[in-house]
Amino acid sequence: MGRSRKLSPQSLALLSALANRPSDWLYGLELANLTGLKSGTLYPILIRLADRTLLESRWLEPSEPGRPPRHAYRITGTGLKALQQADSTTSRPAKEAFA
Amino acid sequence: MNAFTRALFRIGRWIAGRDRAEWLDAMAAEAEAIKGDSTAWALGCFWAAAKDRFARDWSFAVFVLLLPVVVSLWKLYVFFATSSLQFEQQIPDWLAVACWILSPFPFAVLVPLVRAGRSALIAVAIAFLAVEAVPVVMMLNLGVAPSQFFGPNFNWYKCDPGVRIGLVDGIAVDFAAWATAFWLGSALRRRFVRLRG
């Protein structure tokens, strides 16, 4: 099933960027700058993560008048759990090596 | 955003389909927020939309890509088969030309039967444009100058001494054949749906 699929390094980078500011809504451009991902990579990941409810999205009213509303993203509880789980899985071989 | 990026987002939204329209709007809103050139961002978004649609609907994407190839090969087969019969005077010129014009008919009927709505129309439109482009590309590769190509000596269905159909008329006749077949397929589909419902 899709939900149990392993997260890619880019997906993890994106979730980490969102997890650093868990209560903030971040825009696509901000996430692109934080992760270094291009729009062609960023959006398929955002769509996948939203489909798996690892992040939530909403339209925010523009700060400047005359600008269109912008889509913003925030990590969910499920997303935080998935990130913690992925972190523990990836760091386990390293821990074992140093044990 | 400039006209090019706006067009990219519009086409991307169309490719992505209704299910992903909100995401394309989200990408376009970010492009509006970029200070400076947003072309690279828009191209990435366009690529993302196409990739996503292909992943969700890969069987249809393969179908759209293969349909023009299959129709072109079928058209060539019909052309050579009927040309030899015509050359041996076993069939009249008009019948050979009619076979060439009507050769894509079964495919254009079939598409709306297997796929509903706008998807079928897109598949048939792409196949029609690609198939119509084949003779143009062939002629250009054979060194026929555009002036001659569009001139009075060029015929879409050149079939001496009988039937002669010029370039524009040829494309119009082809279009009429495709459109009729598509309409027929759509009508048949509606009838099947009604019978089943």
Q: Are residues B74 and B92 in the same domain?
A: yes
State pTM to two decimals. 0.65
What pLDDT does A94 receive?
45
Are the C-beta atoms of residues A35 and A14 closer than 8 Å to each other?
A: yes
Q: Are residues B100 and B147 in the same domain?
A: yes
- Residues of chain A in contact with residue B29, where contact means CB-CB under 8 angstroms, are 68-71
Q: Are residues B167 and B102 in the same domain?
A: yes
Q: Which amino acid is at A30?
A: E
Are the C-beta atoms of residues A24 and A74 closer than 8 Å to each other?
A: yes
Q: Are residues B81 and B175 in the same domain?
A: yes
Q: Are residues B102 and B188 in the same domain?
A: yes
- The answer, yes or no, to whether the previous bond of B135 is cis (omega within 30 of 0) is no
What pLDDT does B143 receive?
77
Q: Are residues B83 and B8 in the same domain?
A: no
Q: Are residues B192 and B130 in the same domain?
A: yes
Domain that holds residue B65: 58-196
Contact between chains at B25 and A71 (C-beta distance less than 8 A): yes
- Say how far apart CA B56 and CA A28 lie, in whole Å: 22
Contact between chains at A47 and B52 (C-beta distance less than 8 A): yes
In total, the C-beta contacts within 8 angstroms joining chain A to chain B are 59
**Structural domains present in chain A:** 8-81 (1.10.10.10)
Q: Which amino acid is at A61?
A: E
**Number of compact structural domains in chain B:** 2
pLDDT tens digit sequence for B127-186: 999 998 887 777 778 777 766 666 655 666 766 656 777 778 888 999 999 999 999 999
Contact between chains at B48 and A68 (C-beta distance less than 8 A): no
- pLDDT digit string (tens) for chain A, length 99 residues: 444 678 899 999 999 999 999 999 999 999 999 999 999 999 999 999 999 999 999 999 887 778 889 999 999 999 999 999 888 876 655 445 444
Are the C-beta atoms of residues B2 and B39 closer than 8 Å to each other?
A: yes
Q: Are residues B145 and B156 in the same domain?
A: yes
3-state SS class at B64: helix
> How many Å lie between the alpha carbon of B44 and the closest alpha carbon of chain A?
4
Mutate to test the interface with A, among B30, B39, B51 (most CBs of A within 10 A): B30
Are the C-beta atoms of residues A39 and B41 closer than 8 Å to each other?
A: yes
Q: Are residues B81 and B141 in the same domain?
A: yes
What pLDDT does A55 receive?
95
Q: Are residues B184 and B150 in the same domain?
A: yes
What pLDDT does B162 receive?
67
Q: Are residues B69 and B151 in the same domain?
A: yes
Report, as an integer, the average pLDDT of B53-77: 90
Q: Are residues B68 and B162 in the same domain?
A: yes
The yes-or-no verdict on residue B43 having pLDDT over 60 is yes
Mutate to test the interface with A, among B23, B34, B51 (most CBs of A within 10 A): B23
